[in-house]
Structures are given as structure tokens and as C-alpha cells.
């Protein structure tokens, strides 16, 4: 196989409006509901089901047949709720200027809260029935045996299940508390403006959420510098509002923690997912111990780029004048080739999703949300939002999100509704697995030196995001949640200061330190609104690295174990599912091994560039 053309990427100087992007670059939300009117009709259908669900309150103790009736009705309603939510939230994510889509998204969140309130009685009633009785019902009634894992989970967390009335209030309050994330999304996606970036010739380039990543990797240092400064300054200009929003979200986390009787926000996040808090602390300890690897990488980059000083905006500077130009269709081909060890079915589903079923919204348009994500629900195919820029970084992001999407595809195909959702801890293993498999394939087959360097740069960029930025933000979360729990005074300047101090340690003496612009990093990640989510990127990349080595070494046997892991969805405990796939993430060893891989990539890059 020969590499694709190497060329200097063309600049996107102005982002188009959403209405101007080609339909083939957008996802097919019409496959969920043909029209907004059909969506509204589904909302009315769900509203009609809520009294029926609530009508089972106080009745579950009547026996296994009543419990089975309720679970069946619940799964049908949850499937409809999922489709309603996906349609509304996805439309809002790609165009923050679409007020009708924003309205539907808010309506869906409200409906989700009402749905949760309608069924909030179920867990408290199951606890009250007693686990011996429930076990007897499952033994006597084959149709209920699928509930075994759910009941086991409930027994393990019963101390944190509240009364039916309290559970109902906790479900209802999820809607107003989620408004904090909506404020952030509207502020950063629609209302926040950025100065244009400027190249060395004085030409301007638009800075926006859909273009910032391509500007950060631009060959022109002036573009990178002015884009990075403009982006940071846009957030700094609204730091007080952003801080109020985030601190409100952290206070919501603490409220939920106390309402459920957990000792900390960290425990309240990890314990319901059956992850020991030691997993988090082990990660942070290994991360801090390996920071010298990052310091060595900064020094190598400065030397290879020939700079006297090294700045944050140089971390993704291309080391070669020419960058691989990778059209979307080529990226799909290479991803399919990289995933061949998982079998023909996996590859065929992935290819069809990308090229025929329009899973991927890859357009770069004004008002599109930052970053990338995979979504969907049972009853829909997977959906991916990203801003594809025809480069190796976009190829990697696409591979990552397809890892999520294929995980969801198999989980929804093989599990009942109540197990079709899997924990976030395992989610980031599947996504990073795809990235690592594709990268390994391309490193082995595309031997062109310039392309090899680009692939290693992408790998280091990926590690930088997941093995540097995310652990830093996890430490920030731990510190600020702790201060909220203790009732300490907090402000935007506090958040900036804590972030700056953490990154000062991470960057060491090799990176020129712009305290305010680096300190606002906390505001640039909506992941902060997902209680202790970000640490799982680092555990995920560690688990993925171990599983890739297993599949490449053991072939079909390991591939089958991995596919079984994808198919298991939420029907197993996360650490058990991963151990059966071939990696023990309760141990710090996989994280240490991933850092060793990162160090080896630094060595390989140094060798390629002499």
C-alpha cells in the first residue's frame, strides 16, 4: 500500500453556516424521526406511557408476573425515550444557532427527568421486597432470569438507594441541574466569539469550535500562536460566567453525593459503576511519577523544531513541512483494514455505517459543538459528531469514535434494553482500542518516512490529550470538588490558579508558561460537567494498549474475547468484563505499560529524525 498524497493542507478561512454544508457530510437523523412533527408525536406517545408506568408503584411486591409486566413496559418506554433524546440532542449539537433544535433538546431533557421520576419507585420497592425473595422469583420464572445481574448490582449499592419519594425528587431535579451544562454549551457554541488567527503573511483565519484543532496543528507558527491565544482569550473574557456555571455543576455533584450518602464526589461517581477509588488514585500516582517522560518529549520537540523557546502552541506543531492529505473515504478504508483482525462482520458494519448509512456528521460549520462524540440508543444506529479536516488527526478521531459506535452497535444488538448501556469506564477502552489498532496497521504498512512521522505525531497528540491533559483535569476535579465539599470560597481566579499550578508541574521547565491562558484550560472541556469522567480516558488508553497487544499476538482467540466484551454491554461488572477480555485495570501495571509505550514512541520519533 502506498501512502496518500502529501501536501500542505488548504486553510479553511471562514466556516460555513450549517445550511451550506453538503448533506453527505451530515448524519441521517431522519432515520430516527422523519420530521420534527414525528418527533413531537413520539413525545406525546411517551407522555401517555408515564401514567401507566407510575401505576405500578406499590404493586411490584404482588409477584413475578407483575414485575415482568413492569419491566417489559419500562424497556419499551426507555427505548422510545432514547430515540427522542438522541434526535433532539444531536440536532442541537451540530448547530448552536438553531433555536428550534435547542428548544427540542431542552424539551427532551425535561421529558427524560419526568420519565425518571415515573419509574423512580422501582429500585426502592425491589430492595424492600428482599433479595432472597427476588432470587426465588427468578428461579421460578424463567422470563425473569435476565434480571439476575441487575438485582446483584442493586444489592451491592442498596445502602445508597433512597425511598421512592426521594428517588423521585432526585430524578426530577436532574432537569434543572443539567441546565448548567446547557448554559455552557450555548455560551461556548453560540455566544462566545474569537479574534481571527493571523498567518505570517497577514491573512486571517476564522477561529471557532469546529476549526480550532486544525489551527493548533497548522504549519505556520503565527497561525498556531494567534489561534491559541484567541481561543484562550475568548474563554478568559467570560471566565466569571463559566466559573459560576462549572461551580454550580460541582455543587450539584456534591448535592447528589450527600443525598445518596457517599463519602465524597469521587466515590459517588465511581462506586455506582463498581470501580474502586483506588483505581483513580493509582492512575494519578503513576501519572505523576512518569511526568519526566513528558518533559523529555517537550525538549525533543523544541530541538527538532529548531526553536529557542517552546510554547504550548508548539506541542502539535508539524515536524514535517508537508502533511498527509487524507480524505474521509480514504480514512474509512484504512480504518477498515486496521480492524480486519476482528473479522469480516465488524468491518462490513463499520464501512456501511460510514459510507452508506451516514453515521458520521463530519462537516465543519459555524455553531457546531467542540470536540467529538458517539451517540445513539437501542432502536437507532450509532451516530458520530466530529469536524473532519482531511488530516491524520481526523483519521484518528474517526477511529476513536467508531470504537465507541461499534461497542454500542454490538451491545444494543446482543443485550436487552436494561443492559444495552455500558459503563463509561469500559467505553474508553473500546474507543482507544480502535485508534491503537489502526495506528499499528499504518505504522507497519505505510513505510514512507514522512507518513511515519505524521503517525507518531498523531500518536503523541493522542497520548497528550488522554495521558496528559485528562489526568491533569482529573486532579483539578479532585481538588475543586474537595473544596466545594468543605464549603471553601471559590471563584474564577481560584479555578485558573489551581489549573495553572497543576500544569506548571506537568510542563516543567521546558514550556514557556503563560499562566492565565494555560490556567483557563479547565473551561475548555465540557467533560468537566460529567462527574469524574476524564480519568477514564487514561485508564481506557492503558486497557486498550494491553488488549491490542493481545489481539496482535494471539489472533482469532483474543479477537473473539474482545468481541465478547463488546457484546456484553452492561451485563457484567466493568473490571470483570475487561479481565475476561484480557486486561486487569484494577492494577496500575497496564498504566505503567502504556507509559512505557509512550516513551518508546518518543525514542522512535527521535530515531526517525536523527
Q: Interior CA angle at 564 toward 558 and 566, to 5°? A: 110
DSSP-derived secondary structure letter, 191: I
Position 233 scores a pLDDT of 97
Distance from C-alpha of 480 to C-alpha of 502, rounded to nearest angstrom: 12
**Mind listing the pLDDT tens digit for each residue in 64-85?**
999 999 999 999 999 999 999 9
| Residue 279 φ/ψ, nearest 5 degrees | -60, -45
Catalytic residue among 229, 401, 457, 485: 401
User: Once rounded to an integer, what is the mean pLDDT over residues 132-139?
Assistant: 97
Does residue 6 surpass a pLDDT of 50?
no
pTM, two decimals, is 0.88
Q: For residue 462, give the C-alpha cell.
A: 493522542
Contacts of 463 (CB under 8 A, 6+ apart): 541, 598, 601
Position 278 scores a pLDDT of 96
Residue spans per domain, the chain: 20-182
Q: Interior CA angle at 56 toward 52 and 59, to 5°? A: 160
Position 4 scores a pLDDT of 44
The reply to whether 24 belongs to the active site is no
Exposed, middle or buried, 71 (CB in 10 Å: 0-12/13-18/19+)?
buried
Position 11 scores a pLDDT of 46
User: Once rounded to an integer, what is the mean pLDDT over residues 580-598?
Assistant: 95
Does residue 122 surpass a pLDDT of 60?
yes
CATH number of the domain at 20-182, out of 1.10.10.10, 3.30.750.24, 1.20.140.70, 3.40.50.2000?
Answer: 1.20.140.70
**Mind listing the pLDDT tens digit for each residue in 507-518?**
999 999 999 999
**Mind listing the pLDDT tens digit for each residue in 450-477?**
898 889 999 999 999 999 999 999 999 9
Position 501 scores a pLDDT of 97
Among candidate residues 604, 533, 557, the one with its CA nearest the CA of residue 268: 533
User: Once rounded to an integer, what is the mean pLDDT over residues 254-261?
Assistant: 96
DSSP string, 18-87: GGGS-GGGS--GGGT-SSHHHHHHHHHHHHHHHHHHHTTTTTGGG-HHHHHHHHHHHHHHHHHHHHHHHH
- Residue-averaged pLDDT of the chain: 94
More confident residue, 96 or 403: 403
Position 13 scores a pLDDT of 59
**Mind listing the pLDDT tens digit for each residue in 284-332?**
999 999 999 999 999 999 999 999 999 999 999 998 877 889 999 999 9
More confident residue, 538 or 323: 538
User: Once rounded to an integer, what is the mean pLDDT over residues 590-606?
Assistant: 92
Contacts of 176 (CB under 8 A, 6+ apart): none
Exposed, middle or buried, 243 (CB in 10 Å: 0-12/13-18/19+)?
buried
Does residue 484 surpass a pLDDT of 90?
yes
Position 3 scores a pLDDT of 41
| Residue 117 φ/ψ, nearest 5 degrees | -65, -35
Amino acid at each position: 500500500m502506498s501512502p496518500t498524497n502529501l501536501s500542505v493542507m488548504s486553510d479553511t478561512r471562514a466556516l460555513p453556516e450549517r445550511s451550506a454544508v453538503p448533506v453527505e457530510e451530515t448524519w441521517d437523523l431522519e432515520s430516527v424521526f422523519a420530521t420534527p412533527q414525528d418527533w413531537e408525536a413520539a413525545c406525546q406517545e411517551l407522555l401517555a406511557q408515564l401514567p401507566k408506568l407510575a401505576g405500578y408503584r406499590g404493586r411490584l411486591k404482588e409477584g413475578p408476573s407483575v414485575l415482568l409486566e413492569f419491566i417489559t413496559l419500562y424497556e419499551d418506554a426507555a427505548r422510545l425515550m432514547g430515540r427522542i433524546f438522541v434526535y433532539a440532542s444531536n440536532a442541537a449539537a451540530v448547530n448552536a444557532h438553531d433555536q428550534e433544535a435547542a428548544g427540542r433538546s431542552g424539551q427532551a431533557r425535561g421529558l427524560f427527568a419526568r420519565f425518571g421520576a415515573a419509574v423512580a419507585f422501582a429500585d426502592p420497592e425491589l430492595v424492600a421486597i428482599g433479595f432472597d425473595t427476588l432470587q426465588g422469583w427468578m428461579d421460578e420464572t424463567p422470563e425473569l432470569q435476565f434480571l439476575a445481574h441487575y438485582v446483584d448490582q442493586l444489592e451491592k449499592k442498596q445502602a445508597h438507594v433512597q425511598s421512592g419519594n426521594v428517588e423521585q425528587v432526585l430524578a426530577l431535579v436532574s432537569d434543572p441541574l443539567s441546565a448548567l451544562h446547557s448554559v455552557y454549551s450555548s455560551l461556548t457554541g453560540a455566544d462566545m466569539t474569537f479574534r481571527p488567527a493571523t498567518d505570517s503573511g497577514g491573512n486571517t483565519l476564522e477561529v471557532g469550535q469546529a476549526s480550532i484543532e486544525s489551527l493548533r496543528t497548522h504549519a505556520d507558527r503565527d497561525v498556531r500562536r494567534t489561534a491559541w491565544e484567541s481561543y484562550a482569550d475568548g474563554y478568559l473574557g467570560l471566565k466569571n460566567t463559566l466559573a459560576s456555571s462549572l461551580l454550580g455543576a460541582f455543587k450539584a455533584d456534591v448535592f447528589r453525593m450527600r443525598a445518596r450518602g457517599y463519602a465524597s464526589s469521587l466515590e459517588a461517581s465511581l462506586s455506582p459503576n463498581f470501580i474502586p477509588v483506588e483505581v483513580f488514585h493509582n492512575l494519578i500516582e503513576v501519572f505523576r511519577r512518569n511526568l519526566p517522560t513528558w518533559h523529555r518529549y517537550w525538549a525533543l520537540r523544541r530541538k527538532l523544531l529548531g526553536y529557542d523557546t517552546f510554547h504550548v502552541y508548539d506541542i502539535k506543531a508539524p515536524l514535517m513541512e508537508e502533511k498527509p492529505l487524507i480524505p474521509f473515504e480514504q480514512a474509512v478504508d484504512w480504518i477498515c483494514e486496521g480492524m480486519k483482525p476482528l473479522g469480516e462482520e465488524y468491518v462490513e458494519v463499520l464501512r456501511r455505517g460510514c459510507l452508506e448509512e451516514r453515521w458520521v456528521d463530519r462537516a465543519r460549520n459555524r455553531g457546531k459543538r467542540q470536540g467529538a462524540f458517539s451517540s445513539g440508543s437501542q432502536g437507532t444506529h450509532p451516530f458520530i459528531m466530529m469536524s473532519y479536516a482531511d488530516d491524520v488527526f481526523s483519521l484518528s478521531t474517526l477511529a476513536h469514535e467508531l470504537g465507541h459506535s461499534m461497542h454500542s452497535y454490538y451491545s444494543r444488538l446482543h443485550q436487552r434494553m436494561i443492559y444495552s448501556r455500558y459503563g463509561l469506564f469500559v467505553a474508553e477502552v473500546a474507543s482507544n482500542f480502535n485508534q491503537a489498532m489502526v495506528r499499528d496497521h499504518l505504522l507497519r504498512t505505510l513505510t514512507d518516512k514522512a507518513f511515519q512521522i505524521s503517525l507518531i505525531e498523531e500518536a503523541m497528540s493522542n497520548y497528550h490529550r488522554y495521558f496528559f491533559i485528562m489526568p491533569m483535569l482529573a486532579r483539578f476535579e479532585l481538588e475543586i470538588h474537595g473544596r466545594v465539599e468543605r464549603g471553601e470560597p471559590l471563584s474564577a481566579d481560584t479555578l485558573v490558579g489551581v489549573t495553572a499550578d497543576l500544569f506548571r508541574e506537568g510542563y516543567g521547565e521546558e514550556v514557556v508558561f503563560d499562566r492565565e491562558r494555560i490556567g483557563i484550560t479547565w473551561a475548555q472541556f465540557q467533560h468537566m460537567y460529567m462527574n469524574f469522567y476524564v480519568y477514564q480516558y487514561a485508564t481506557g488508553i492503558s486497557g486498550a494498549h494491553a488488549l491490542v497487544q493481545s489481539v496482535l499476538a494471539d489472533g482469532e482467540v483474543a479477537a473473539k474475547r474482545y468481541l465478547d466484551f463488546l457484546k456484553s454491554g452492561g451485563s457484567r461488572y466493568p473490571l470483570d468484563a475487561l479481565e475476561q477480555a484480557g486486561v486487569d485495570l484494577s492494577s496500575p501495571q497496564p498504566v505503567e505499560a502504556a507509559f512505557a509505550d509512550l516513551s518508546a514512541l518518543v525514542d522512535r520519533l527521535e530515531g526517525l529524525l536523527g
